[in-house]
Amino acid sequence: MPKNNDKIIESKDEILANVLWKLLELRQFLTSSHTHTAWGSAFKKALTTLKSNTESHHEQLFSALELIRFGYLNGNNLSRSYYIPPNATTEEKKYILLISRTLSLVPAKFKGVSWNGPLSRELLAFNSFVKAMNRSLRNLCEMLTLSMFLNGDCVKDRQDYLDIALSLPFLYDVNTAMGIIVKTYLEHVIILSKDNNDKAAIRSHIPEALKKLDGTFTGCINVKADLENGLVFWDEVIIAVNSLKTSGAISNELASQFINANNWLSSRRP
């Protein structure tokens, strides 16, 4: 950040860049010398490895890594489970829980009508942690911005204060819709497969499982596109988890939860 008026910041983009840079440093994604930590390297690798036409997941990936660091993004139950997926084994329940929690960080696109799909007590409980954390991160971004103006690091006489506020990350709360969509999809695949673990047989039921989504989530603009976008995000999280495992930033047990869930998912994704 500028130390004197000779280097005062004028443009909105420069202000946002400084805020994001400081956020990454405070959350230990960057060191004070502006080099990547293990978490920063995982973040960068996940965002740059995949070449996809889907939307950016910068905020969602940042949230996922923070939740992993705090011990909330895993396949363990937060409380007593009140719902048992049909025909699912104990391991499959854990896989579905972890995958649905992860994808619940990604927003789905709606037609502007009320939600008419199923609900999930487990995902709602997890969502309370996500909202609390994201709102704290939003407050941190706002305080970093305010600090820059109070310290005289930025031009104060300007007309784009609202634009700056709207451009800061973590503006909107996330809901559980995407998590419920993937959870419902995977449960349909399990039901249709009827304990048949043959990969070819499982994949033969995927079109029917996708068709059932259209009838269940009628409020979504394109539920299949939402699911595809969510699974791209899952792939990014897996890249980050593998990087964190290699660097020793997370335990092998936690990394194995993601890796095993990903192996199980590989024959069941569209």
* pLDDT tens track, the chain, 270 positions: 555 555 899 999 999 999 999 999 999 999 999 899 999 999 999 999 887 666 689 999 999 999 999 999 999 988 776 666 667 888 999 999 999 999 999 999 999 888 888 999 999 999 999 999 999 999 999 999 999 999 999 999 999 999 999 999 999 999 999 999 999 999 999 999 877 778 888 899 999 999 999 999 999 999 999 999 999 999 999 999 999 999 999 999 999 999 999 999 999 999
**Distance (Å, rounded) from C-alpha 84 to C-alpha 131?**
26
Helix (H, G, I), strand (E, B) or coil at 94: helix
Domain ranges of the chain: 5-265
Written as one letter, the residue type at 9 is: I
In a 3-state reduction of DSSP, which class is residue 110? strand
- According to the model, what pLDDT value does residue 35 have? 96
Return the SS3 of 35: coil
> Does 1.10.3380 match the CATH number of domain 5-265?
yes
pLDDT value of residue 2: 52
Contact 5/152 with Cβ under 8 angstroms? yes
DSSP secondary structure string for all residues of 134-148: HHHHHHHHHHHHHHH
Q: What is the pLDDT of residue 114?
A: 86
